[in-house]
């Protein structure tokens, strides 16, 4: 792998709930993304994928563990470093309507974003026009209010705001889930183009495997606050190791009637358990078709099955691990 740009080391994020219960949104996540790489993060609701994205950009701080950006622990940064860290890490949100201030024009939204970072008004305005143009919006959008433009255009504006500070790392948190099919492809192409031309490092979060597959070279699968499998996309789809990944892949309806007739989805039992009551042992055992007594007792460690393929499962679907590493 190339130089690591951003790393999550043993990151947990717990929320205290009423009645003394604890919601483990993240429960020991290790993750590293190389400079210029694109990592897809898939999982169902409650898997903690959005929380991980927010922790990675510093919107939330981890309960335990640390986020390292270019080797620097984000929690231990001095004020000058903090300013740089904030500039370098940006996020694109799922719902473009909620991500833009309804009472501000698109231009003012981006300008305000830059002004906070110490840009002058004139420079900020020029930069706003420039990034809007990069995102396919003409300068006439500077003075438009969010409710005056379409959902796709709003998402372009949100992306423009994110790239306005010239970040190195972007978290795209379900950026196309709220959009229509035809708009979705436009936004995916835009993100891909920006990623290439600007050499962005990207964490692309989605519940939709086919979207992630199209955007990212590597894919990580999350289940109940932990990454259960991570591999290059081709490998992951052809030979998934974790039964959950296999079920996830088989559950995607294909826009092809002939293949749909032969597709036999692996139907999992029930639904993901409440993240405030993570099962003992392997967290997937309550729904897993391969679960044994071992799985009910012992939480599996993440093992490397090849140099880039890791999974946390006692009974993986293929291959034996080549080496045992990664705590």
Partner 1 sequence: MVDVPAAEIILPRPAQRFGALRRLLRHRLAALGLIVIGLLAIGSAGAPWLAPYQPDDIDIAQRYAPPLSEGHILGSDDLGRDVLTRLLYAGQVSLSVGLAAMLVTVLVGFAVGAFAAYHGGWVDIALMRLTDIMLCFPSVFLLLFVAAFVTPSLASIALMIGLTCWMEIARIVYAQILTLKSADFIAAARMVGAPSWRIIFRQILPNTLAPILVAATLNMANAILLESYISFLGYGIQPPAASWGNMLTNAQSDFQVDPWLAILPGLAITLAVASFNFIGDGLRDALDPRMRERSAGALR
Partner 2 sequence: MTALLEVEKLAVSFGTMRAVDAISFTVESGEILGLVGESGCGKTTAALALMRLLRGATCTGAARLADVDLFSLDEPAMRARRGSDLAMIFQDPATALHPTIQVGDQLVETLRTHLNLSARQARSRALDLFRKVGIAAPEARLRAFPHELSGGMCQRVMIAMAIACSPLLLLADEPTTALDVTVQAQILDLLRQVTREAGMSVVLITHDLGVVAGMADRVAVMYAGAIVEMAGTDRLFAAPRHPYTRGLLASIPALDQGWDEPIPTLAGSVQSAFEVPGCRFSPRCPLASEICRSAPSLREVAPGHFVSCWNAA
Tell me which stretch binds partner 1 (CB under 8 A): 33-41, 56-64, 65-73, 244-252: 56-64
DSSP annotation of 206: E
Strand partners, 232: 218
Question: Tokens for 287?
Answer: 């729904």
271 belongs to the binding site for partner 2 (CB under 8 A):
yes
**Listed ranges 50-58, 86-94, 145-153, 297-305: which one lies at the site for partner 2 (CB under 8 A):** 145-153
**In the set 116, 298, 322, 326, which binds partner 1 (CB under 8 A)?**
116
Smallest distance from partner 1 to CB 149, Å: 5
Work out what residue 135 binds among partner 1, partner 2, none; the CB cut-off runs from 5 to 8 Å by kind: partner 1
Structural contact between residues 225 and 278, judged by C-beta atoms closer than 8 angstroms: yes
Tokens at residue 232, please? 């290059």
Structure tokens at 245: 């990944």
Residue 256 Cβ vs partner 1, minimum distance, rounded to whole Å: 17
Bridge pairing between strands 4-16 and 201-206: unpaired
| Residue 244 contacts partner 1 per CB under 8 A | no
Compute φ and ψ for 292, nearest 5 degrees: -125, 180
91 binds partner 1 (CB under 8 A): yes
Identify whether the C-beta of residue 53 lies closer than 8 Å to the C-beta of residue 202. no
- The least distance separating partner 1 from the CB of residue 101, rounded to whole angstroms, comes to 5
Partners of residue 33 on adjacent β-strands: 6
DSSP character for 276? T
The H or E element that residue 303 is part of is: strand 303-306
State the DSSP string of 49-92. Answer: HHHHHHHHHTSS--SEEEEEETTEEGGG--HHHHHHHHHHEEEE
Interface with partner 2 in residues 212-231 (CB under 8 A): 213-214, 216-217
Tokens 């679960």 found at:
291
**DSSP assignments along 8-26, one per residue:** EEEEEEEEEPGGG-EEEEE
Indicate whether 152 belongs to the interface with partner 1 (CB under 8 A). Answer: yes
Return all residues near 95 (Cβ < 8 A) that are at least 6 apart: 178
Smallest gap from residue 99 Cβ to partner 1 (A): 4
Q: Which of 17, 75, 139, 254 binds partner 2 (CB under 8 A)?
A: 254
**Binders in 15-54 for partner 1, by CB under 8 A:** 54
The number of C-alpha atoms within 13 Å of 8 and in the hemisphere containing its C-beta is: 26
Of the pair 46, 58, the CB lying nearest partner 2 is at 46
Pick from 71, 98, 234, 253: which binds partner 1 (CB under 8 A)? 98
180 binds partner 1 (CB under 8 A): no
CB of 271 to partner 1, least distance (A): 25
Q: What tokens does 176 get? A: 């196309």
Name the binder of 22 from partner 1, partner 2, none, CB < 5-8 A by kind. Answer: none
List the alpha helices (DSSP H) in 167-265. 181-198, 209-215, 233-238, 243-250, 257-262
N-terminal to C-terminal alpha carbon distance within the chain:
19
**Taking the CB of residue 115, how many other CB atoms lie within 10 A of it?**
15
Among the listed residues 35, 87, 214, 315, the single contact to partner 1 using CB under 8 A: 87
- Report in angstroms how near the CB of residue 11 gets to partner 1 at its nearest: 18
- Which of 51, 153, 195, 201 touches partner 2 by CB under 8 A? 153
Residue numbers of the site for partner 2 (CB under 8 A)? 44-45, 150-153, 180-186, 188-189, 192-193, 207-211, 213-214, 216-217, 233, 237, 247-258, 260-261, 263, 265, 267-268, 270-272
Residue numbers of the site for partner 1 (CB under 8 A)? 54, 57-59, 82-83, 86-87, 89-91, 93-95, 98-104, 109, 112-113, 116-117, 135-138, 140-141, 143-145, 147-150, 152-153, 161, 165, 186, 189-190, 193
């Amino acid at each position: 792998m190339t130089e690591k740009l951003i790393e999550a080391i043993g990151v947990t994020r717990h929320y205290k709930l009423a009645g003394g219960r604890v919601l483990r949104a993240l429960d020991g996540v290790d993750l590293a993304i190389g400079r210029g790489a694109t990592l897809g993060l898939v999982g169902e609701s409650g898997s903690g994928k959005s929380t991980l994205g927010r922790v990675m950009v510093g919107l939330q701080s981890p309960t335990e563990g640390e986020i390292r950006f270019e080797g620097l622990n984000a929690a231990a940064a001095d004020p000058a470093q903090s300013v740089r860290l904030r500039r370098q890490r940006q996020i694109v949100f799922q719902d473009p309507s909620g991500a833009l201030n309804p009472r501000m024009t698109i231009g003012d939204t981006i300008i305000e974003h830059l002004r906070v970072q110490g840009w002058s008004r004139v420079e900020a305005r020029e930069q706003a026009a420039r990034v809007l143009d990069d995102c396919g919006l003409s300068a006439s959008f500077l003075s438009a209010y969010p409710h005056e433009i379409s959902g796709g255009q709003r998402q372009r504006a949100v992306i423009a705001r994110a790239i306005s500070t010239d970040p190195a790392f972007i978290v795209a948190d379900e950026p196309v889930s709220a959009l229509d099919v035809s708009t979705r492809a436009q936004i995916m192409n835009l993100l891909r183009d920006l990623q290439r031309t600007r050499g962005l490092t990207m964490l692309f979060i989605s519940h939709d495997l086919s979207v992630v597959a199209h955007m990212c070279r590597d894919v990580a699968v999350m289940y109940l606050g932990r990454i259960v499998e991570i591999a290059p996309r081709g490998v992951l789809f052809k030979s998934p190791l974790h039964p959950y990944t296999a079920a996830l892949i088989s559950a995607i309806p294909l826009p092809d009637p002939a293949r749909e007739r032969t597709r036999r989805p692996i139907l999992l039992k029930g639904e993901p358990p409440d993240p405030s009551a993570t099962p003992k042992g392997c967290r997937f055992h309550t729904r897993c078709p391969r679960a044994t007594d071992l799985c009910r007792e012992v939480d599996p460690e993440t093992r490397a099955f090849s140099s880039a393929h890791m999974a946390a499962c006692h009974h993986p679907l293929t291959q034996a691990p080549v080496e045992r590493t990664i705590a």
